[in-house]
Amino acid sequence: MSRLIFATLAVTALASTVGAQETTQKASTIPTPADTYQALFQAVQTRRIFADGKTFVDAVPKRPADRIMADYRAHRRFTDAELARFVRANFILPEAGATPTPSKARPPIKAHIVALWPRLTRPPVKPVAGGSALAMKRSFVVPGGRFREIYYWDSYFTMLGLKADGRDDLVESMIDNFGDLIGTYGHVPNGARTYYLSRSQPPFFFAMVGLSRATDPKTLKTRVDLMRREHAFWMEGADGLKPSQAHRRVVALAGGEVLNRYWDDRATPRDESYREDLETAAQSDRPAPDVFRDLRAGAESGWDFSSRWMANGESLSTIQTTSIVPVDLNSLMYGLEKAIAEGCARLADAACAREYGDRAAARAKAINLYLWDSAKGAFLDYQWTTAQRLDRLSAATIYPLFVGATEARQAHIVARKAWDELLAPGGLRTTTVRTGQQWDGPNGWAPLQWVAVSGLRRYGEDALAAEISKRWLSTVEREYAASGKMLEKYDIEEAKAGGGGEYPTQDGFGWTNGVTRALQESLATVRQAPSGR
């Protein structure tokens, strides 16, 4: 990319931040490092002073931001070495992260994961002015590596393992931390950083609450109210939408049905991937803010990035996330609506139970109408801007089974499709194509294995569920035996470390630990169950 184009995009992106702040809600107007440090931020990120764009945005200032910026402006020009020294003099840079040192002795993988939980657990967080960390009142578990804060959808899968290992204390504290975030900001951000506040992630809060042992009616009501508030965040602007119109995270389809899409309240480069987003926008023939918005929406999906979101199915510069009604998101929204209805019923709130039960029924009908492809035998994403289903099979096709949003007949058809096209030697495929992006082949991901196994079991497809479990656990155990590591993602075609994407494969790793322990426990339960013969 030419220096002129890069500089122009960078200046435009920073200038548009103010505009984005004026048009979005409160959570997304809280200053991010890009807003606070402006020219300094731009120089550090575009000149790649640090190899990882997340380093500077996670740094903690040693003194007030206005004084740092005054000194920066007074200096006028910096070489790269001088700029690095200036940053180190004025900020506490984050440590490398919770990456354990592999031991030569390999304890059983269960014991290894149990030993990892304390290393991945963090104490409450008190924000520092000028820094990006959000407040956390209670202890929590981080994914590991460069991911130093709590993340939304990661945490559900991590909590599965915590529960399997008897750490209900951490499960409850993490549910309450997420509840605090909803109470403070109206939604759960992507992660607990200011630069994540303008977006969320796949809404798994209802599933986290489902892991809780709490039975106190007051706690139940508080959590149901929080789920209702999260639902309102995702559905904001739905009232009054006409067919083929969209607003933020809602889309009105041809028949007036309302489904959801991924979105972000800002249309600027992501703070943590600033240079990368500028480079992607420079390769596109679309307006840069549109590309930035779609990249951010892709990050909200958790699948950052995947051929699912690409107009040509190959190149990130064609990303079109906001034009797509995704299978996984709408399945989770169904799950959220069902959970609210059930919670309200337990609280004897008949009107609420009826309202959300009706919402869930209407969503299931719309999912069946727009996302089910009987000819393909799969649930597929829908491009609402062209009124066409996208013929791109992915592991998201199993999400309706995970939440019980489909009929048994369709579930069995999806299972056959998964047997034929998604089952790999080392687990469940993410997609069936290779683009170099991390949410495509050959990578497999722990959360998708659990969603599939859980959903298949719900509909009695136990053989496929067991096969996915065994193959995935074999992949994880093989890599652990070779390197002593629990990885963020794996190559499930060759049963080795995964790759691709914007950063190196991370070690730790919260959701892999959680799903591994949950699958181990569930397989043990199946083996111990009576045969019925």
Q: What is the DSSP letter of 325?
A: E
CA distances from 349 to 199, 221, 343, 345 (A): 31, 10, 9, 6
Q: What is the token pair recorded at 9?
A: 């995009």
Low-confidence ranges of the chain (pLDDT < 70): 1-25, 28, 96-103, 526-533
132 and 193 Cβ atoms separated by less than 8 Å: yes
pLDDT given for residue 16 in this prediction: 44
Domain boundaries, the chain: 3-92, 393-533
d(CA 305, CA 387): 23
Could you give the CA distance from residue 313 to residue 12 in angstroms, rounded to a whole number? 28
- Measured CA to CA in angstroms, residue 491 lies from 293, 396, 404, 412 at distances of 29, 18, 29, 27
Tell me the C-alpha distance between 235 and 226, whole Å: 14
- Note the residue count of the chain: 533
Residue 51 carries which side chain, given as an amino acid letter? A
What are the catalytic residues?
304, 488
Q: Which pLDDT score is estimated for 473?
A: 98
Structure tokens at 353: 């139970």
Return the H-helix or E-strand segment holding 39: helix 33-46
- The DSSP bridge partners found for residue 443 are 491
Query: DSSP string covering 270-324, please?
Result: -GGGHHHHHHHHHT-SS-HHHHHHHHHHHHHHS--S-GGGBTTSS-GGGB-GGGE
Q: What is the pLDDT of residues 426-463, one digit of tens each?
A: 999 999 999 999 999 999 999 999 999 999 999 999 99
- Predicted TM-score (pTM) of this structure: 0.94
Under a CB-based contact definition with an 8 Å cutoff, are residues 256 and 243 in contact?
yes
356: nearest Cα among 512, 230, 168: 230
How far apart, in whole angstroms, are the C-alpha atoms of residue 287 and residue 51? 27
CB atoms within 10 A of CB 83: 18
* pLDDT value, residue 25: 47
Sequence-distant (6+) residues with CB within 8 A of 156 are 204, 207, 208, 211, 447
DSSP run (H or E) holding 169? helix 168-185
